[in-house]
Amino acid sequence: MKIGSVDLASPFAVAPMAGMTDTAFRRLVKRHGGCGLVVTEMVSAEGLVRGIDRTLEYAEYTEEERPVSIQIFGGDPDKMAAAAQIVEGMGADIVDVNMGCPVPKIAKHNAGCSLMREPAHAATVIAAMAKAVKIPVTVKMRAGWNDDERNAPVLARMVEDAGAAAVAVHGRTAAQSYSGSADWEIVARVADALTIPVFGSGDCIEPEQVIARMRAGIEGVLVGRGVLRNPWILAQARDIAAGLPPRVVTMADRGQFLLDYIELLRNERVRDGESRILSRPESQVLNPDLRPDPSHDRWIVNKLRALGSWYTKGIDNGSHLRTAINSAISLPALIEIIEGFFMATPV
Ligand SMILES: Cc1cc2nc3c(=O)[nH]c(=O)nc-3n(C[C@H](O)[C@H](O)[C@H](O)COP(=O)(O)O)c2cc1C
């Protein structure tokens, strides 16, 4: 399938997840297969335009993640157009607009899910961006603002007319945040109403659920928390789609994933003159004084704690592992915990 001129080898994608889906994590998921698209954590249009270091870090990606979509948030059409140009200049394949984030810090600035309350303004933002760049502009929205305003089908039509190349719908309202369950009927209604590709998002934990959601009209599925629990879910979905049994993931595989993640993070945010990060513009090379960061190990431990809160769900003794990860006092101690839990040979 295609989004604009961008080819996707698989209809299954890693959903954007702030604080979770960094470049290292996305790379590993991609290596395990079945992943047709990765979307970065959302980054601020304002921060991109101002060249803020932290914002640029959130937008970093590597060549092996392609095709890559960088998701931005903001509400001002001119600023969003300028940010889209920066994203294009960073070499991203797609620029995605967040119209679903319910976090007040974002929503109160006329960005994220607030754009769903002002469809005409949201369409103006997309039109400005589509005019400013050649790469596809896509939109990720929710089912609506609240139960009385489930306007995804209307808004989706408007952003399509304004030049969006694809739309993704998380089937919950902003008011729901993450409670209740995703409404895939509304995703199907959006797909019926549009000619551009429509992706659905919400509550796919098992690979079979990903396949079940690929109903007529829906072109692809963005998997969020399911990937954090099981980074093989997209590969397993593709196995099923190919008529094969889903691949078996052993405890040792699961442990190795965490060790590989640590290894990638170890090489990240360090100044080695040969950074594998490709997206940062030459003019925005990080301040050498900042690297290597003395608290780098702590940063990695915190990253593993964040992933651990999802990764340990659904496995035997997962809560025990979660507690152990959260109390690890150093990176070597954390590695020992992971090896002991996943790789210890049963006697
Ligand atoms: C920790 C976390 C962070 C998220 N961050 C973003 C984000 O930055 N941008 C966005 O569009 N959606 C974000 N989402 C929503 C997901 O992309 C996804 O649509 C939602 O979680 C439903 O899918 P799931 O049930 O497969 O997780 C986030 C979700 C979670 C759990």
Contact between 224 and 15 (Cβ < 8 Å): yes
Alpha carbon of 15 to ligand 1 centroid (Å):
6
Residue list, ligand 1 pocket, CB within 6 Å: 15-20, 41-42, 71, 98, 100-101, 140, 170, 201-204, 222-226
SS3 195: coil
Say which amino acid occupies 112. G
Which residues in 68-158 belong to E strands, given as ranges? Answer: 68-73, 94-99, 137-144
The per-type count for the chain, helices as H runs and strands as E runs, is: 16, 11
* Distances from the Cα of 326 to the Cα of 2, 134, 246, 308, angstroms: 41, 45, 31, 8
Alpha carbon of 92 to ligand 1 centroid (Å):
20
- Residue owning the nearest CA to atom 29 of ligand 1: 17
The pLDDT, as a whole number, for residue 215 is: 77
The pLDDT, as a whole number, for residue 261 is: 98
Q: Which of 172, 225, 234 to mutate to test the pocket of ligand 1 (most atoms within 8 A of CB)?
A: 225
Contact between 45 and 74 (Cβ < 8 Å): yes
The pLDDT, as a whole number, for residue 222 is: 98
Euclidean distance between CA atoms 63 and 91, whole angstroms = 10
CB atoms within 10 A of CB 242: 8
The pLDDT, as a whole number, for residue 344 is: 83
Contact between 101 and 113 (Cβ < 8 Å): yes
The pLDDT, as a whole number, for residue 109 is: 81
Give how far the C-alpha of residue 17 lies from the chain's centroid of Cα atoms, to the nearest Å: 4
The pLDDT, as a whole number, for residue 252 is: 96
Task: Kindly give, in sequence order, each residue whose CB lies less than 8 Å from that of residue 21, ignoring residues fewer than 6 positions away.
Answer: 14, 15, 38, 39, 40, 41, 227
Contact between 20 and 38 (Cβ < 8 Å): no
113 is catalytic: no
Atom of ligand 1 nearest to the CA of 41: 8
List the pLDDT tens digit at each of the 347 positions of the chain: 999 999 999 999 999 999 999 999 999 999 999 999 999 999 999 999 999 999 999 999 999 999 999 999 999 999 999 999 999 999 999 999 999 999 998 988 889 999 999 999 999 999 999 999 999 999 999 999 999 999 999 999 999 999 999 999 999 999 999 999 999 999 999 999 999 999 999 999 999 999 999 977 899 999 999 999 999 999 999 999 999 999 999 999 999 999 999 999 998 876 443 344 555 544 444 444 444 455 899 999 999 999 999 999 989 999 999 999 999 999 999 999 999 999 986 64
Alpha carbon of 16 to ligand 1 centroid (Å):
6
Alpha carbon of 235 to ligand 1 centroid (Å):
20
Task: Kindly give, in sequence order, each residue whose CB lies less than 8 Å from that of residue 343, ignoring residues fewer than 6 positions away.
Answer: 251, 252, 255
The pLDDT, as a whole number, for residue 333 is: 96
Q: 327: buried, middle or exposed (CB in 10 Å: 19+, 13-18, 0-12)? A: exposed
pTM (predicted TM-score): 0.93
- Residue owning the nearest CA to atom 31 of ligand 1: 225
